[in-house]
Amino acid sequence: MLMKPAKVRATAAQILARLIRQQGSLASLLPRASDVAEADQNQMALLRELCFGTCRWYHKLERDLATMLDKPLKNKDIDIHCLLLVGMYQLEHMRLADHAAVNETVNATALLKKGWAKSLVNGVLRQYQRQLASRETGADVVALTYTDWMVDSIQTDWPQHASQILAAGNQHPPMTLRVNLSRVSRAAYLDELAAAGITAHAGSLADSAVYLEQARAVTVLPGFSDGLISVQDEASQLIPGLLLADAGQRILDACAAPGGKTCHVLETLAQAGGEPQILLALDIEARRLERIEENLQRLLLAGPGTRLLAADSSEPDNWWDGVPFDRILLDAPCSATGIIRRQPDIKVLRKAEDVARLVILQHKLLTNLWSCLAPGGSMVYSTCSVLRAENDRQIVQFLSATPDAEEIPISAEWGVSADAGRQLLPSEHGPDGFYFAVLRKNAG
């Protein structure tokens, strides 16, 4: 039995209520939602759109809702609060018939066992519908979809690019593929897509990147199950070209899950006919390593030198055998402000104090992992953040405090040169926001 339209709205409201209560992210809450197993492909797409879209416009919707309520709803009725946001999002941003959007959202009150809210939801949505034509639009509205602290941080760090960054965060992201160049050329794979009736074009930054004109389920993409491609944004596909790992080296991927970069490094080595002496992929959560193992198997990369370990990479004494690594990739935990378009719930979940905590963790990772790097070896530090405290300022501070660390300048035409390293800013039809720095450990 399929989910009824009202049930999709009610489920979206329940998911968002848990999100606002800090009980998880969309990535964790959506798969666990009740009755999702009953949803067909179209209903699941609608549920995702309601959840992701409401998060994308959450702060503006909250401001608008506050003007239409005589008083805030009680905490126990946060599901009705979220249902109102879902209804408002449908009216303003989705191509649904207004009467259907309103009626099915009103009907959802009964499924939430809040029949008393039927007239409230109907009244608020009808009022919002009437007001839409007169509500402000444009760049000023984009800023209203973010928290004040996030807007201030981005405007301070990137005064010339803030509008671009904020606007990109409200766009639907492109679906980008990484072609396994050890198995097939990008040109040949583009031909396979064309033969399957799928419109795509090559990326301009990474020689493995392919952009699809429309997102597709991976199950319909030629060669996915055979390991010819993976889904990965073009920005993170630049990492192997910065890491420059060679066959026979000891390589550490310090924060590896879900494994896209681990697999890409192995693909790059295989393309040159080699493999690492060891590639150790760490993640602090054991369950996340399962995804890496699945990708290694699908891509036929699970060689004897590849090892997965659940460990806290900031505490090498607990897992390191003392043999130095030639290459270390530190894709550090960060605010994820460069990938908001992919994870719009960041707008709801991320707090200003999180950034200060993350900066401390990043410094600890940099400092402690540096001891694991062989003299003459190099480390790539990367984040999917656009905040300079996590990026070039973090690296400048590390370099000033670490006598045997030297920056290797990144010679590239992409992105923006920073005080240290290079910053890619998110763009509407291009890559996510990403930061990179390459550091070498001097001998002696």
Neighbour-count burial of 366, counting CB atoms closer than 10 A to its CB (0-12 exposed, 13-18 middle, 19+ buried): buried
- What confidence tier does 36 reach under pLDDT thresholds 50, 70, 90? low
Chain mean pLDDT for the chain = 95
Angstrom distance (rounded) from CA 157 to CA 144: 18
Angstrom distance (rounded) from CA 125 to CA 373: 59
Q: Which residue is associated with the tokens 């191509």? A: 95
pLDDT tens-digit profile of 203-257?
999 999 999 999 999 999 999 999 999 999 999 999 999 999 999 999 999 999 9
Task: Give the total residue count for the chain.
Answer: 444
pLDDT tens-digit profile of 395-410?
999 999 999 999 999 9
Give the pLDDT score at 134: 76
252 SS3 class: strand
Is 34 or 384 the better-scoring residue by pLDDT? 384
Contact 176, 201 (CB under 8 A): no
Give the pLDDT score at 136: 65
376 SS3 class: strand
Q: Which residue is associated with the tokens 């596909």? A: 237
332 SS3 class: coil
- From 305, 233, 309, 236, select the one nearest 269 (Cα to Cα): 305
Give the pLDDT score at 311: 98
Residues in CB range of 120: below 8 A, 6 or more apart: 80
Cβ–Cβ contacts within 10 Å for residue 195, how many? 9
Which residues make beta-bridge pairs with 209?
178
Distances (CA, A) of 60 to 55, 65, 171, 230: 10, 9, 15, 35
Distances (CA, A) of 31 to 15, 48, 105: 10, 10, 22
Cβ–Cβ contacts within 10 Å for residue 245, how many? 22
**Residue 384 pLDDT > 80, yes or no?**
yes
DSSP secondary structure letter of residue 338: T
Residues in CB range of 92: below 8 A, 6 or more apart: 57, 128, 132
Give the pLDDT score at 102: 95
Cβ–Cβ contacts within 10 Å for residue 44, how many? 16
Angstrom distance (rounded) from CA 409 to CA 290: 35
**Residue 138 pLDDT > 70, yes or no?**
no
DSSP secondary structure letter of residue 273: T
For residues 82-117, b (16+ Cβ closer than 10 Å) or e, as one string? bbbbbbbbbbbeeeeeeeebbebbbbbbebbebeeb
- Pick from 28-42, 61-75, 110-124, 164-178: least confident: 28-42
Active-site annotation holds for 384: yes
Q: 255, 263, 372, 384: which is the annotated catalytic residue?
A: 384
Residue type, 378: S
Contact 301, 266 (CB under 8 A): yes
- What confidence tier does 316 reach under pLDDT thresholds 50, 70, 90? very high
Domains in the chain, CATH or no CATH each: 5-135 (1.10.940.10), 177-231 (3.30.70.1170), 238-441 (3.40.50.150)
Can you tell me the mean pLDDT for 105-127? 96
